[in-house]
Structure 1
Amino acid sequence: MTGLRDRRRVWRRDHGAMLSGVCIGLAEDLDLPLPMVRIVTLLFLVLPTGLAYLALSMLLRRGPIAARQAAEAPRRTSHDNALLRHRLQALEPRLKRIEAFVTSSAFELDRGFRQMGE
């Protein structure tokens, strides 16, 4: 009787195992291709968790802080956009001057002198 019980027992296999040898043991015992057993195992692990997360994200309401923050979020008006555009346009000439200096030979020379002094 023990011979029959040992024949039907599924064993973990160390040979060819990726983690602990469960999938290769199942594949050998059930005479199935190993990649198929690994894919089915991965689906059984990931799919229920992903579906539960998706269901909970649709069923659960937002907490009071998140809902309040969403309601109080500042809305940009056309006036705000115009003000922001004006500020950016005012900064553009300064940025161009900085870019011109950084790419100039005077900057390279100053940097070389600073490196020699260190």
Structure 2
Amino acid sequence: MTSEATVADAPQATLIAVGAILESPVKGKDGETLGKIAEIMLTAGQGAIAYVVLARGGVLGVGETLHAISWCDFTVDPEDGALSLPLSGADLDARGGFDKDHWPAKPVE
């Protein structure tokens, strides 16, 4: 896979470039846009994804809520490469989030 890969390439690929999913919108189970991918946190020693940070709400980063979500919870649509979660906006809000000054060590279940 080249560095020009996109999320849409994911169904045929083994690897997904991090740059292809950063800032990507994420849809919920009802088709609502839940937010966008803000960061992907890796474990340095293991080289694995610890969690994906979903930014929700706010304007230009002000007032947004950050959510630590396991990469395994996401699906990639084989038709258009869109990212989605099996959650509604209310489900996500009920899980709570974290602020930019207190990042979690693992995803919030």
Q: Could you say whether these structures have the same fold, taking a TM-score greater than 0.5 normalized by the shorter chain as the test?
A: no
Q: Which has the larger radius of gyration?
A: 1
Compare the two structures and name the one with the higher helix fraction: 1
Q: Which has the higher contact order (CA 8 A, sep 6+)?
A: 2
Normalised by the length of structure 1, the TM-score is 0.17
Normalised by the length of structure 2, the TM-score is 0.18
